[in-house]
């Protein structure tokens, strides 16, 4: 990088990282993890800010529209931001135990790292200046987020868009005669589903037939449920007679027959419904455990000792209040939420000290 003509510079990498962790936690805090990290260099502060914001949006899009995991986006407080950054933005998701999971971050690094590493460039007017940098990343921690957002007592629940297998077909038979007939019908159904190009030639339905012998259907169902396959299609002699297939959703466990006529389109539509229902359910759960306008700091303490959740409350901007709340309740400021998440009526006083609030903050216990 020498001239403004070389900017912006964008470097993306996927890397395995090893970090010392005193206490590890599967998927969330592991000694070694896979992450994606991006680094950019820009000619101006505003371009860097725009890039940091854009990547936060990219992460949010993936988390919400692919993982079906709703997030609150916003700005980290000074004490929670990445050391050396001007500003850190994050995506905060609520897990089913009402704790927050920081699922991804994006930093506007300003010129701090450029100055430390003498990262300079020649500007349009011929002077030398330090570059404006950003960095951003997500990791296999998102797998943990997915498990804890959607999983239930029967195992994983995978959003269709991310499921390696979206549909499992289980043929059901009682004797060898039926076995041949039903297995053939199951493969024929699979072929019909995978040949369908309604989502585009490169996004065929991902379908698996479980025709394993010597295994009861119930045991097969259990296994695929555990793995979180979004949709199961059961095919027995009676279904074949009626020219239909019996479907079972993994997310709601709702069962219903689907006619064979136009089956591919019906299945694709149902998968879309599952995808959006999973997001809506997770969002409704988050909102049910989000408190706005909490009565007092005592009420806040009681909530954090109890079931927890996201509390939208005022903050004076003081690090002392932030530290005190953390000390007394283990809750931290997850972010200063972006405008779309803020309460209709802005809180006027600090949750902790009662002084005039300078911002609304989201407080929660976090992983
Ligand atoms: Zn305060």
- In 3D space, the residue among 322, 324, 328, 318 whose CA is nearest the CA of residue 362 turns out to be 322
Q: What is the DSSP letter of 164?
A: S
Angle, vertex CA 333, rays to CA 79 and CA 14, nearest 5: 70
Cα-to-centroid distance, 296 and ligand 1 (Å): 13
Strands of the chain, DSSP E: 9-18, 32-42, 72-75, 87-94, 100-110, 120-122, 128-130, 132-139, 167-171, 207-209, 231-235, 244-249, 255-259, 290-292, 310-315, 332-337, 359-364
Rounded Cα–Cα distance for residues 229 and 80 (Å)? 37
Per-residue tens of pLDDT for the chain, all 367 residues: 899 999 999 999 999 999 998 899 999 999 999 999 999 999 999 999 999 999 999 999 999 999 999 999 999 999 999 999 999 999 999 999 999 999 999 999 999 999 999 999 999 999 999 999 999 999 999 999 999 999 999 999 999 999 999 999 999 999 999 999 999 999 999 999 999 999 999 999 999 999 999 999 999 999 999 999 999 999 999 999 999 999 999 999 999 999 999 999 999 999 999 999 999 999 999 999 999 989 899 999 999 999 999 999 999 999 999 999 999 999 999 999 999 999 999 999 999 999 999 999 999 999 9
Strands of 43-166, DSSP E: 72-75, 87-94, 100-110, 120-122, 128-130, 132-139
Rounded Cα–Cα distance for residues 52 and 71 (Å)? 17
Q: What is the DSSP letter of 197?
A: -
Q: How many residues does the chain have?
A: 367
Write down the pLDDT at residue 77: 98
Question: Which residue do the tokens 């394993």 mark?
Answer: 212
Cα-to-centroid distance, 315 and ligand 1 (Å): 6
Cα-to-centroid distance, 78 and ligand 1 (Å): 14
Rounded Cα–Cα distance for residues 56 and 136 (Å)? 8
Cα-to-centroid distance, 344 and ligand 1 (Å): 21
- pTM given for the model: 0.95
Rounded Cα–Cα distance for residues 173 and 171 (Å)? 7
DSSP 242-310: TTEEEEEETTT--EEEEESTTHHHHHHHHHHHHHHHHHHHHHHHHHHTEEES-S-HHHHHHHHHTT--E
Cα-to-centroid distance, 311 and ligand 1 (Å): 15
Write down the pLDDT at residue 260: 98
Cα-to-centroid distance, 314 and ligand 1 (Å): 8
Rounded Cα–Cα distance for residues 160 and 209 (Å)? 17
Asked if residues 287 and 272 have their Cβ atoms less than 8 Å apart, the reply is: no
Cα-to-centroid distance, 350 and ligand 1 (Å): 5
Cα-to-centroid distance, 325 and ligand 1 (Å): 10
Write down the pLDDT at residue 322: 97
Residue 37: CB partners within 8 Å, gap ≥ 6?
A: 12, 13, 15, 135, 136, 137
Question: Which residue do the tokens 């219903």 mark?
Answer: 256
Write down the pLDDT at residue 125: 95
Write down the pLDDT at residue 43: 97
Strand order across the beta sheet in which 167-171 lies: 207-209, 167-171, 231-235, 244-249, 255-259
Write down the pLDDT at residue 317: 97
Please give the domain boundaries of the chain with CATH numbers for all domains.
4-150 (3.30.930.10), 160-274 (3.40.50.800), 290-364 (3.30.110.30)
Asked if residues 1 and 30 have their Cβ atoms less than 8 Å apart, the reply is: no
Cα-to-centroid distance, 316 and ligand 1 (Å): 4
For residue 38, the tally of other CB atoms under 10 A from its CB is 17
- In 3D space, the residue among 188, 184, 192 whose CA is nearest the CA of residue 263 turns out to be 192
Cα-to-centroid distance, 83 and ligand 1 (Å): 23
- In 3D space, the residue among 237, 272, 229 whose CA is nearest the CA of residue 253 turns out to be 229
Write down the pLDDT at residue 269: 98
Write down the pLDDT at residue 42: 98
Cα-to-centroid distance, 328 and ligand 1 (Å): 14
């Amino acid at each position: 990088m020498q001239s403004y003509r070389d900017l912006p510079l964008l470097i993306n990498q996927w890397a395995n990282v090893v970090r010392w962790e005193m206490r590890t936690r599967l998927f969330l805090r592991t000694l070694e993890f896979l992450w994606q990290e991006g680094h950019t260099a820009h000619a101006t502060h505003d371009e860097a800010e725009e890039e940091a914001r854009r990547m936060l949006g990219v992460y949010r899009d993936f988390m919400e529209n692919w993982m079906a995991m709703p997030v609150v986006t916003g700005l980290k407080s000074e004490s929670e931001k990445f050391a050396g950054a001007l500003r850190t933005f994050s995506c905060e998701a609520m897990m089913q135990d009402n704790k927050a999971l920081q699922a991804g971050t994006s930093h506007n690094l300003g010129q701090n790292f450029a100055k430390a590493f003498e990262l300079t460039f020649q500007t349009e007017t011929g002077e030398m200046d330090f570059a404006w940098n950003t960095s951003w990343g997500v990791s296999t921690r998102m797998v943990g987020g997915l498990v804890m957002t959607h999983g239930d007592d029967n195992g994983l629940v995978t959003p269709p868009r991310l499921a390696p297998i979206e549909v499992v077909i289980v043929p059901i038979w009682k004797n060898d005669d039926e076995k041949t007939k039903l297995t053939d019908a199951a493969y024929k159904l699979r072929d019909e589903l995978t040949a369908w190009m309604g989502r585009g030639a490169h996004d065929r339905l991902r379908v698996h037939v479980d025709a394993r012998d010597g295994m009861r259907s119930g045991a097969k169902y259990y296994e695929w449920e555990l793995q979180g396959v979004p949709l199961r299609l059961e095919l027995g002699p009676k279904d074949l007679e009626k020219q239909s297939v019996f479907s079972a959703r993994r997310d709601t466990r709702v069962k219903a027959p689907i006619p064979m006529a136009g089956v591919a389109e019906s299945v694709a539509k149902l998968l879309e419904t599952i995808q959006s229902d999973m997001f809506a359910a997770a969002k409704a759960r988050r909102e049910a455990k989000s408190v706005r306008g909490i009565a007092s700091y005592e009420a806040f303490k009681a909530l954090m000792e109890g079931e927890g959740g996201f509390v939208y409350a005022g903050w004076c901007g003081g690090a002392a209040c932030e530290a005190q709340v953390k000390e007394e309740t283990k809750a931290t400021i997850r972010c200063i939420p972006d405008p779309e998440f803020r309460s209709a009526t802005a809180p006027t006083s600090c949750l902790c000290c009662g002084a005039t609030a300078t911002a609304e903050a989201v407080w929660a216990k976090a992983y």
